[in-house]
Amino acid sequence: MGLESDILFEKTQKNYTSMRKDIHFVSADEAVRTVKSGDHVHLSSVASAPKVLIEALCRRGEAGELENVKIHHLHTEGQAPYTDPKFDGIFFHQGFFIGANVRKSVQSGYSDYIPVLLSETQKLYRCGALPCDVAMIQVCPPDKHGFVSLGTSVDATLAAIECAKTVIAVVNKYVPRAWGQAMIPMDKIDLFVEDNTPLLPAEFHAPNEIEEAIGKNCAELIEDGACLQMGIGAIPNAVLEQLDGHRDLGIHTEMFADGVLRLVEKGVINGARKGIDKGKIVSTFVMGSPLCYEFLDDNPMVAMMDVGYTNNPYNIARNPNTTAINSALQIDITGQVCADSLGTKFYSGAGGQVDFIYGASLSEGGKAIIAMPSCTKKGESKIAPALLSGAGVVTSRAHIHYLVTEHGAVDLYGKSLQERAKLIISVAHPDHRESLDMAAFERFGPHYRHFSL
């Protein structure tokens, strides 16, 4: 895994060796025998998905020992073998988000999706709307005080641990010792399994010309002292690459990756002007390279928190100048944002978009931004007269503020339907503006033709 992971191992090995004698490890196959037919099982998310337990659980499924086991999690990296059609009637995945590894299964009906705001995924467990019989998690080796860390993913996993009848933890030397609410005492765990499989790294391509243009247009809206939320991928990376000249930026987000590390090293991100958690990077999960996981390890600058904290709009709003940048699959000319489906085909999920769009709009000086390319890879306009039939509205026309494409940025807040139609069309791809303008004329009547901004 390289130098960074070796350093992480060396730093934890001494304490781990002294504590290991106090841990009774069982095999993964023995641990998953606690799962019964009809149980609800939670898996820790993203890079922390407990691969060895998933494989053992699937072996029980193949042996015909289980049926109707429901599996819940946010996005997980790597394979999701429990969604294979051969496990129909044995495992039923009901995720809080639709990642690439389960998308085909959800669209074919072998898996399902629970529509929920990311901030409320933890509430599903805590209020009892969703049972949790077994929580399968991954943690770092214990420290000298008997604490382990959830590392890269706290999200709804902390709530699952609190509510589960049985907690199974994979102890993995590659899990970083993250601070904040990621730290839990060993007595919260019922069964321990040892597995030192390196965490899966996230791979990102360099921003292309369109993504660079979107990044520049977003960066122009970001002021010194802003507190940022953005996702993971080419557009967030493109935005971060444009921020070298900024000062005193903060981070309060649901996730971050390698893009923030360079700005921390340069002193651009220091959290000096945050309203809460001053000086700290606040997140609920991390997905990046081994270098990113090393940055997270034993770093008091990073607070890994419960998703009910990071994504609470009222916590978000306590940071002045919160600037939230989220993306979309499609937007119509009135400002309705679809981010979870392509027509009736579910593609991702609500995620934290609504949490941060609303939180940023409540923040003093805050800016809520939807950023996306104006066209699909096939050249079809992502700005449409109306959303595709069956498409879900994640951010309503009443919530949207800024829309950014490679062709510019427009502020829709306080604008009427006809005003915003003109503005939205102005940042569409030039090849589609005439047809969109004609559709707006047909929708709003002859006055629209004479209407000017």
Q: Which two tokens stand for residue 20?
A: 């290991």
**Are 306 and 121 contacting, i.e. CB atoms less than 8 angstroms apart?**
no
**Separation of alpha carbons 120 and 67, rounded Å:** 28
Q: Which two tokens stand for residue 75?
A: 């996005």
**Separation of alpha carbons 335 and 358, rounded Å:** 15
Q: What is the DSSP letter of 81?
A: G
3 state SS of 301:
coil
**Are 84 and 59 contacting, i.e. CB atoms less than 8 angstroms apart?**
no
How distant, in Å, are the alpha carbons of 349, 350, 396 from that of 308? Answer: 17, 15, 22
**Are 94 and 114 contacting, i.e. CB atoms less than 8 angstroms apart?**
yes
146: left (phi over 0), alpha (psi -120 to 50) or beta: left
Q: Among all residues, which ones are annotated catalytic? A: 254
The sign of the CA dihedral 406, 411, 417, 419 is: negative
Bridge partners (DSSP) of residue 324 are 229, 368
Q: What is the DSSP letter of 220?
A: T
Q: Using CB atoms within 10 A of its CB, is residue 203 exposed (0-12), middle (13-18) or buried (19+)? A: exposed
Which residues make Cβ contacts (< 8 Å) with residue 194, sequence separation at least 6?
A: 25, 170, 171, 172
